[in-house]
Amino acid sequence: MKTFSKLGDQKLLQELNRTLVLNTIHHYGSTSRIEISKLTKLSQSTVSNVVDGLQKEGILVEAGTGSSTKAGGRKPTILTIRPGYAYMLAVGIVTEAFHITVQLSLFDLRLQIVEKTELELAETGVELIRSIKDIVREFIEHHAEKKILGIGFSVPTVLNREGVMFRGHLLGLENFPLEQELSAAFPTIPVVVEQEQHAAVLGERTMGAVKDIENLIYITVGRGIGSSMIVNGQLVRGEYGGAGEIGHMSINKYGEKCICGKMGCLRLYATELSFIKKIKEAVTHELPVPLTVYNPAIDKINVLEVYTEAVRGDSFCRSLVEGMLDDLCTAISNLVYLFNPKKIILGGNLLLAKELAIPRIAERLNEMVDSPASMIEIEAAQLGTQSSLYGVASLLLDKHFLNKDLLMKEGG
Ligand SMILES: [Zn+2]
């Protein structure tokens, strides 16, 4: 067992009290000293000391007065965290059909987005990483007056425990020490790197539809496909970080060859890659394709319009989306048997056609799985395409502001 010097003990205790008070106020939004004392079981004088310190630091502010106690007395002062005391910068790297989008969202301490921007990048590989570093650096310089608690990156690739990209085909990187590279680029700011689908499920758990759900599967569909499972309340990562990487699950051993070298991977059928293939075939055979989807004048495909046109009722686009959904259901039904979830949350570009997707998936699952499994609720991610950004922002908030690691260590 660890031993601490007396001074060390004292410091740890102060840190623990501060963390307890901060977490209590964060959890309730706003509360009074007396309530904090009741909730944390810390003495009123300890709470007052901690609160005084937090007010001096500018973290806490007064937000009016509460009602007085039964015994009469002075009305208690309500305290709240100043949302603009510090910020978290969330950076999402999203692979689209023909480019990579970098999303930057600045979150305040209430996990509200105060500013966001998006850029399209054409480069891949180390050039891409260099551009992303430059964009982030420029954003931070532009907000030099703001205290940035940390930078959280959400990436569409498998990361092992050391933050090394194992399979980054879509970004043109393999066995790349991403976390180390990004941390080195921002030496004075804490950096976290999380896989997109895990970040998204954490975001939905913090702010979205699934706050209290213990067993759920999140599936994101767009240019790629990924899933993340929460089982008995815990995120499943697997030994090498690859749990939920269903894109390379083979659904057709006689199918086409995938970039991973294997045959018939799900991503060839249940992502926008299937749209592009069928649009090209239709164009070759001079079949009618909406102009919004394929513009022959400039020979350009707009994949996202497939979802919109499908919802509008275009029969060609509808057949593309339905075909994709049916192949997706093959994978979902397997996941359902493996993990027996209460909910399935859909994310990614597929949400552009959620009116079509949710009933279609429900119908197919009813045909494919037995009765207890058919009780599963299928829902759209509430945070839309921003889920993973909320996820990395909440990771930074927990780690670098609320100091939850300390609470877990001392509480457990
Ligand atoms: Zn593959």
Secondary structure (DSSP) of 185-238: HSTTS-EEEEEHHHHHHHHHHHHSTTTT-SSEEEEEESSSEEEEEEETTEE---
Residues 179/183/189/190 CA torsion (nearest 10 deg): 40
User: What is the 264 CA–ligand 1 centroid distance (Å)?
Assistant: 7
Distance CA 304, CA 161 (A): 34
Residues facing 104 on adjacent strands:
91, 117
Residue 412: band (very low, low, confident or very high) from pLDDT cuts 50, 70, 90 = very low
Residue 83: band (very low, low, confident or very high) from pLDDT cuts 50, 70, 90 = very high
What is the helix (H) or strand (E) element at residue 408, kind and residue range? Answer: helix 404-411
User: What is the 397 CA–ligand 1 centroid distance (Å)?
Assistant: 35
317 in the Ramachandran plot: left (φ > 0), alpha (ψ -120 to 50) or beta? alpha
Do the Cβ atoms of 126 and 173 come closer than 8 Å? yes
**pLDDT confidence of residue 72:** 64
User: What is the 215 CA–ligand 1 centroid distance (Å)?
Assistant: 27
Structure token pair of residue 326: 């049916």
**pLDDT confidence of residue 311:** 97
* Average pLDDT rounded to a whole number, residues 224-245: 91
User: What is the 365 CA–ligand 1 centroid distance (Å)?
Assistant: 24
Do the Cβ atoms of 23 and 404 come closer than 8 Å? yes
Sheet holding 158-159, edge to edge: 158-159, 165-168, 173-176
Residue 344: band (very low, low, confident or very high) from pLDDT cuts 50, 70, 90 = very high
pTM to 2 decimals?
0.86
User: What is the 256 CA–ligand 1 centroid distance (Å)?
Assistant: 10
User: What is the 299 CA–ligand 1 centroid distance (Å)?
Assistant: 28
| Dihedral sign, Cα of residue 337, residue 342, residue 348, residue 349 | positive
Residue 1: band (very low, low, confident or very high) from pLDDT cuts 50, 70, 90 = very low
Q: How many CB atoms lie within 10 A of CB 73?
A: 9
User: What is the 140 CA–ligand 1 centroid distance (Å)?
Assistant: 37
User: What is the 249 CA–ligand 1 centroid distance (Å)?
Assistant: 7
User: What is the 321 CA–ligand 1 centroid distance (Å)?
Assistant: 21
Alpha-carbon distances, residue 218 vs 145, 203, 329, 332 (angstroms): 37, 11, 13, 10
Residue 373 pLDDT > 70, yes or no?
no
Residues facing 174 on adjacent strands:
167
Query: Residue 283 burial (CB < 10 Å; 0-12/13-18/19+)?
Result: middle
User: What is the 220 CA–ligand 1 centroid distance (Å)?
Assistant: 16
- Give the tens place of pLDDT for each residue, 147-197: 999 999 999 888 888 889 877 777 888 889 999 999 999 999 999 999 999
| Dihedral sign, Cα of residue 37, residue 42, residue 48, residue 51 | negative
User: What is the 258 CA–ligand 1 centroid distance (Å)?
Assistant: 4
**pLDDT confidence of residue 5:** 60
CB under 8 Å to 315, separation ≥6 — which residues?
A: none
User: What is the 195 CA–ligand 1 centroid distance (Å)?
Assistant: 18
User: What is the 172 CA–ligand 1 centroid distance (Å)?
Assistant: 14
401 in the Ramachandran plot: left (φ > 0), alpha (ψ -120 to 50) or beta? alpha
Residue owning tokens 């840190």? 15
Strand, helix or coil at 321?
helix
Residue 232 pLDDT > 70, yes or no?
yes
User: What is the 255 CA–ligand 1 centroid distance (Å)?
Assistant: 11
User: What is the 124 CA–ligand 1 centroid distance (Å)?
Assistant: 19
User: What is the 157 CA–ligand 1 centroid distance (Å)?
Assistant: 13
Residue 4 pLDDT > 60, yes or no?
no
- Give the tens place of pLDDT for each residue, 376-409: 899 999 998 889 999 999 999 999 999 988 887 7
Find the length of the chain.
412
User: What is the 404 CA–ligand 1 centroid distance (Å)?
Assistant: 37
User: What is the 242 CA–ligand 1 centroid distance (Å)?
Assistant: 13
Query: Residue 362 burial (CB < 10 Å; 0-12/13-18/19+)?
Result: middle
